[in-house]
Amino acid sequence: MSYKIIIDSCGEFLPEWKKDTRFSSVPLTLNVGGYEIVDDETFDQKDFLRRVAECPECPKSACPSPQSYREEFDCDADHIYAVTLSAELSGSYNSAVAGKNMLHEEKPEKKIYVFNSRSASIGQTLIGMKIQECEEEGLSFEETIAAVERYIKTQITYFVLETLDALRKNGRLTGVKALVATALKIKPVMQSTDDGNICQIDQARGINKALSRMVEHIVANTRDPENRILAISHCNCPERGRMLLEELKTRLAPKAAFLLDTAGVSSLYASDGGVIVVV
């Protein structure tokens, strides 16, 4: 059976996926002070971060239209899967479901499933990898859905950012206390919740101490690390990302590990210097 995996542009693509027609990305759009950027293969992170630094307004994102998803779903693949960023953080999931319903009105026989990642960024990448693994092992459409949904329930997304301004100003920190210790350089350690929201689990003074705290939480909460894949995305801080990768590889000994730079939407919310870890 042939398959197609569609990931909205908040999810980072592995290098080999960019040349594989079984994978495609549905772009969100970014807006920096009225300047619109399509988050596709043309995204220029350096230019984006420069514009953000120079703009007094907070950058914003807009989810893909249902029609965009419908067009991606209308393909020759037997099994079609979409992976969106958390439905608690974006309308991308609802848009994908609407796009699926639109196509089903014309082609009800199409096998399409939309995964709410309850995560973002590199978490979506790992979900795409899990779908591919299941398909390559010969699992049925229904078996793949069940296996991937089980996997999603085991995922925890951790992150430490230089600033939470983009998340806060765009309403992505519902339930998280506003930080009043900016002058003290307090950096919160954040993680995803079971329903795909965001919560604060720790904090420290300075980015390096916050990263160390995050590592301790990851090590303490990761079950069966030898059977898991460690994935890290970073926004314009490769050395920080590599340091985290090596530290966690040493502490966890996962079966595989990789590091990617953030794409457009992830760069917006991670902001310059942010790191995201999923295992």
Residue 129 lies in a domain: yes
Residue-level pLDDT at 162 = 83
**Residue 171: its pLDDT value, please?**
63
> What pLDDT is recorded for position 58?
87
What is the H or E stretch that residue 62 is in? Answer: strand 60-62
| 166 and 268 fall within a common domain | yes
What distances in angstroms separate CA 251 from CA 136, 159, 247, one per listed residue? Answer: 30, 18, 6
235 and 178 within one domain: yes
What pLDDT is attached to residue 185?
Answer: 79
Q: Are residues 130 and 192 in the same domain?
A: no
User: Which among 134, 153, 172 is the end of a domain?
Assistant: 153
Q: Flag whether 211 is in a domain.
A: yes
Same domain, 87 and 120: yes
> Does 243 share its domain with 105?
no
- Return d(Cα 91, Cα 64) in angstroms, integer: 8
The verdict on 218 and 252 lying in the same domain is yes
Number of domains in the chain: 2
Distance in angstroms (rounded) separating the CA atoms of residues 271 and 168? 12
Cα–Cα distances (Å) from 14 to 7, 25, 62, 263, in that order, read 12, 12, 23, 11
Residue 149 and residue 162 share a domain: no
Question: How does DSSP assign 135-200, residue by residue?
Answer: HHTT--HHHHHHHHHHHHHH--EEEE-S--HHHHHTT--TTPPPP--GGGTEEEEEEE-TTS-EEE
Residue among 191, 37, 16, 14 at smallest CA distance from 119:
191
Residues 145 and 169 in one domain: no
Whether 104 maps to a domain, the answer reads: yes
Do 19 and 103 belong to one domain? Answer: yes
Each of the 279 residues of the chain gets a pLDDT tens digit; together they read 899 999 999 999 999 999 999 999 999 999 999 999 999 999 999 999 999 999 988 899 999 999 999 999 999 999 999 999 999 999 999 999 999 999 999 999 999 999 999 999 999 999 999 999 999 999 999 999 999 999 999 999 999 988 777 666 666 665 455 454 454 578 989 999 999 998 999 999 999 999 999 999 999 999 999 999 999 999 999 999 999 999 999 999 999 999 999 999 999 989 999 999 999
Domain identity same for 91 and 170: no
Instruction: Please identify, among 129, 153, 177, the residue that sits at the C-terminal boundary of a domain.
Output: 153
> What's the pLDDT at 178?
47
In this prediction, residue 160 carries a pLDDT of: 94
We report the CATH number of the domain holding residue 10 as: 3.40.50.10440
Q: In the chain, where does DSSP find H-type helix? A: 45-54, 66-73, 92-106, 122-136, 141-154, 165-169, 207-221, 238-252, 264-270
pLDDT attached to residue 134: 98
Domain boundary among 153, 171, 193: 153
Q: Considering the domain boundaries, does residue 78 fall inside one?
A: yes
In a domain, 57, yes or no: no
270 lies in a domain? Answer: yes
Range of the domain at 274: 157-278
CATH code for position 217: 3.30.1180.10
d(CA 122, CA 103): 28
In a domain, 122, yes or no: yes
Residue 138 lies in a domain: yes
